């Protein structure tokens, strides 16, 4: 088989890039190791920056998002027994969109199927060959049969554990990582949200977040130990702990119910450089991971896709490789800013074992400054709704 771009990874990043390229007449094939049902079974965040929303509209897959998504013009931050609100629209002129990543991925799958997109599931043993030459190709197994796809370029959208980043030699690649001593215990329930906007809560017992997917589907998180397992957290324990970590006015009206999904996500900051080697371009979690505190995971992938998509357009439409040549530096410049915000917000709201009494006082001073200072709130809002591409 021959195509122009092989996209490794059939999650939202790979599918969105595939859709965008297809609409511009650039032939591509998506390789995904898992089944469609497995990919759709992943429960992920649902806060979308304006840039991601615009990309979905450009990809012609925004109809359901625009109908069912929730536009949020601000967020609530609670600490020290009180709370304050940061108004995104007031400070930036832009809101964010709350729309579950599972639904977004479903929309992308449906769009690719409607256009006859080439998405190959159960592609096992994917291997990238001759990536540092002008004739790269990809091999994979379907059952007992090996297949080969020759291409111009490879987009690595296969996540942190995928083959794409590992293909870049250690002599070329440099990884930067910070591991945090905590995770997030997340619970999804068919209950109405406790508040119309997200509530981030700092508590002496640890961080908590109240989020939602729709009017009767809520997603809640509490900071937990890395050694914890899902089995350690019964529904009863989760709800009781959440109520202790959020303001009393929210705890009093919290509607609880049976969980329909529970999982623990470790907190990690990670960046690999460069994001290009030869004809291979990394995007999304294949190149960088952020703690979920700042809602930057999928949104940072979206900025990668924006740069890569337009670089490929320039190459195929104008025979201009400059966008591809500058992709890694341009993407990383924005990635590190998102990493900084996620790192800062994580330290602002979490309690860690290594914190001294002085550290805790500084944390409360930072929160107090943010609550009172308009300029600080504007900077926060600018980062949260998304820095410009």
Is 292 marked active-site? yes
Is 296 marked active-site? yes
Is 200 marked active-site? yes
pLDDT of residue 46: 85
Is residue 69 domain-resident? no
Is residue 333 domain-resident? yes
The vertex-64 CA angle with 61 and 68, nearest 5°, equals: 145
Is residue 305 domain-resident? yes
Is 193 marked active-site? no
Residue with tokens 């998304």: 386
Task: Please pick, among 22, 118, 288, 296, the residue that the annotation labels catalytic.
Answer: 296
Tell me how many domains the chain contains.
Answer: 1
Q: Are strands 47-48 and 28-32 parallel, antiparallel or unpaired?
A: unpaired
What share of the chain in percent tops pLDDT 70? 99
pTM: 0.95
Query: Which pLDDT tens digit goes with each residue over 266-307?
Result: 999 999 999 999 999 999 999 999 999 999 999 999 999 999
- Domain containing residue 133: 5-47+101-177+268-346
Task: Please pick, among 180, 221, 292, 315, the residue that the annotation labels catalytic.
Answer: 292
Average of per-residue pLDDT values in the chain:
96
Is residue 120 domain-resident? yes
3-state helix, strand, coil in the chain (%, to 5): 40, 30, 30
Is residue 247 domain-resident? no
pLDDT of residue 134: 96
pLDDT of residue 42: 74
Is 258 marked active-site? no
pLDDT of residue 40: 85
Query: At 306, which CATH number?
Result: 3.50.50.60
Query: Which pLDDT tens digit goes with each residue over 13-51?
Result: 999 999 999 999 999 999 999 998 888 887 677 899 999
Task: Find the helix packing angle between 357-372 and 374-385, rounded to 10°.
Answer: 90
pLDDT of residue 43: 65
């Amino acid at each position: 088989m021959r195509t122009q771009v092989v996209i490794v990874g059939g999650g939202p990043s790979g599918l969105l890039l595939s859709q965008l390229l297809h609409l511009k007449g650039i032939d591509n094939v998506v390789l995904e190791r898992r089944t469609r049902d497995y990919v759709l079974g992943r429960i992920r965040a649902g806060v979308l920056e304006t840039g991601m929303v615009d990309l979905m509209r450009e990809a012609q897959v925004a109809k359901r998002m625009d109908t069912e998504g929730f536009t949020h013009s601000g967020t609530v931050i609670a600490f020290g027994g009180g709370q304050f609100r940061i108004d995104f629209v007031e400070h930036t002129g832009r809101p964010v969109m709350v729309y579950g990543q599972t639904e977004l991925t479903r929309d992308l799958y449906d769009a690719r199927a409607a256009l006859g997109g080439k998405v190959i599931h159960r592609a096992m043993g994917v291997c990238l060959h001759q990536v540092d030459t002008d004739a790269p190709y990809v091999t994979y197994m379907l059952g007992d049969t090996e297949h080969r796809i020759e291409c111009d370029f490879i987009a690595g959208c296969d996540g942190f554990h995928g083959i794409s980043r590992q293909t870049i030699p250690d002599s070329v690649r440099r990884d930067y990582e910070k591991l945090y001593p905590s995770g997030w215990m997340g619970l999804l329930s068919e209950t109405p949200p406790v508040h119309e906007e997200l509530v981030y809560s700092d508590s002496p017992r640890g961080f908590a977040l109240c989020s939602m997917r729709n009017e009767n589907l809520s997603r809640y998180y509490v900071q937990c130990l890395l050694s914890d397992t899902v089995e350690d957290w019964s529904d009863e324990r989760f709800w009781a702990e959440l109520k202790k970590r959020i303001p009393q006015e929210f705890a009093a009206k919290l509607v609880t119910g049976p969980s329909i999904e529970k999982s623990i996500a470790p907190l990690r900051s990670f960046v690999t450089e460069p994001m290009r080697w030869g004809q291979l371009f990394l995007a999304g979690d294949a190149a960088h991971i952020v703690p979920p505190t700042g809602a930057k995971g999928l949104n940072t992938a979206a900025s990668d896709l924006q740069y890569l998509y337009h670089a490929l357009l320039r190459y195929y439409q104008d025979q201009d490789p400059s966008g591809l040549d500058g992709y890694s530096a341009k993407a990383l410049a924005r990635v590190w800013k998102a990493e900084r915000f996620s790192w800062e917000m994580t330290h602002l709201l979490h309690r860690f074992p290594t914190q001294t009494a002085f550290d805790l006082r500084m944390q409360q001073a930072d929160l107090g400054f943010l609550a009172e200072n308009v300029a600080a709130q504007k900077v926060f809002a600018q980062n949260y709704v998304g820095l410009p591409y």
